[in-house]
Structure 1
Amino acid sequence: MSEKVVVIYSGGMDSYTVLNKAIRSGHDVYALSFNYGQRHVKELEVAAQVCERLNITHKIVDISAINQLIGGSSLTDDIDVPEGHYEEESMKSTIVPNRNMILISLAVGYAVSIKASKVFYGAHSGDHAIYPDCRPEFVKKMDDVCRIANYDAVEIVSPYLNNTKIDILTDGLEMGLDYSQTWTCYNGRQHACGKCGACQERLEAFALNKATDPISYE
């Protein structure tokens, strides 16, 4: 019998690759997406379409009410999304306070309720400079806590924690994944902006893999 796991699936290219990696590893995958009030809510529409095509169980949970408590991010508030690379200081405005701790905690609760043994999420080394909740020390501590927080231990798995987005795309392309089924841009418009940190890192990954990004840009 396949091991049951939960994958935190945003609809972006990193979590899309993690989702497919978990499926191809033989796991019984339950995808979990969150509406936390992000302006790029388009990613959730993409996530739903992918899960329907893959015929896997998928829940989208509305937790947007938490923005009464955790404001100040350009992803959720009326603040312009900065342009430039992830390593630039301005990108700190895209931090949503405590986001991954909240999302992982909810995913672990879901995992316990359906008797899943692991929660996967797509942290990678390209996020380490800006996002503390994507760094190895955070993942290690969350894993420690989630193994003892309930009667049933849940393992936190970040398969690309020490890899770059370039490496993630390389792995995905080798799996034959179609990245037109992903949304990365922090601006939730019809086409990707090509200028925010998320877009720039994505475009860089495709360029260094000598591949063409299949989505359209403004």
Structure 2
Amino acid sequence: MTQKAVVIYSGGMDSFTVLNKVLQQGLEVHALSFNYGQKHSKELAYAATVCDKLGISHKVVDISAVNFLLAGSALTSDVPMPEGHYEDQNMAQTVVPNRNMILLSLAVGYAVSIDANQVYYGAHGGDHAIYPDCRPEFVQKMNDVCAIANYEAVEIVTPYLHNTKIEILTDGLNMGLDYTDTWTCYNGREKACGKCGACQERLEAFAENGVTDPCLYE
């Protein structure tokens, strides 16, 4: 019987790479996306397109009712979207309170219900400066909890925890991935803004890999 794995899939380039990496390991992938009240849902549409093309299970969970509990972030509230690199302190405005703990908890519950013993998500080294719930110590503690939270232990797996986005893209390109169906920008306009931290880090990754980004920018 093929081993099952749950992949938290936002529709962005990091989780897209993780999703395909897990598929190439021969695991049966169950993709899980969340509407947590973010300002736009373009990533979710991209996620649905990819999962349909790959023919894999994909569930989109609407937890937007909790949005008022996660206020204060530029991603969920009426707060101007900051511009600049992820390492800039103003990018802390994009932190959504306790987001990954909430999403991982739901993903672990889903994993237990379908007899999967792993949950993957795309935390990476470039997130560490701003996002506490993408740091190694957070992942370690979540693993400790998820080993005892249910009768069945579930492992939190972060393949790129110590890698930069540049290195993630390098790995994806080596896997032959096409990043056309990914959306990274924090703004949900027709084209990516090219100015927010997410866009700047993505553009840097493609430039450093010597590849043209298929995403269209303003």
- TM-score normalised to the size of structure 1? 0.99
Q: Distance in 1 between matches of 2:68 and 2:203?
A: 34
Identical columns (%): 73
- What SS class does the counterpart of residue 34 from structure 1 fall into? strand
Contact 2:92–2:130 under 8 Å retained in 1: yes
Q: Distance in 1 between matches of 2:38 and 2:172?
A: 25
Q: Which residue matches 1:130? A: 130
- Which AA in structure 2 matches 1:49? T
Kindly provide the CA deviation profile for residues 47-83 of structure 1, in whole angstroms up to 9, marking residues without a partner as x.
0000000000000000011112110000011111100
2:204 aligned with 1:210, yes or no?
no
Q: Which residue matches 2:195? A: 195
Q: Which residue matches 1:30? A: 30
Contact 2:71–2:96 under 8 Å retained in 1: yes
2:99 aligned with 1:93, yes or no?
no
Q: Which residue matches 1:154? A: 154
Report the alpha carbon displacement of residue 120 of structure 1 after superposing the two structures with TM.
0.1
Report the alpha carbon displacement of residue 2 of structure 1 after superposing the two structures with TM.
1.4
Contact 2:70–2:76 under 8 Å retained in 1: no
2:92 aligned with 1:68, yes or no?
no
Q: Distance in 1 between matches of 2:128 and 2:69?
A: 24
Kindly provide the CA deviation profile for residues 1-38 of structure 1, in whole angstroms up to 9, marking residues without a partner as x.
21100000000000000000000000000000000111
Q: How many residues align?
A: 218
Q: Which residue matches 1:83? A: 83
2:52 aligned with 1:52, yes or no?
yes
Q: Distance in 2 between matches of 1:187 and 1:40?
A: 7
Q: Which residue matches 1:165? A: 165
Contact 1:40–1:185 under 8 Å retained in 2: no
Contact 1:11–1:183 under 8 Å retained in 2: yes
List alignment gaps of at least 5 residues for structure 1: none
Q: Distance in 1 between matches of 2:25 and 2:118?
A: 13
Q: Distance in 1 between matches of 2:36 and 2:47?
A: 15
List alignment gaps of at least 5 residues for structure 2: none
Report the alpha carbon displacement of residue 190 of structure 1 after superposing the two structures with TM.
0.7
Report the alpha carbon displacement of residue 159 of structure 1 after superposing the two structures with TM.
0.3
- TM-score normalised to the size of structure 2? 0.99
Contact 1:6–1:120 under 8 Å retained in 2: yes
- Which AA in structure 2 matches 1:90? N
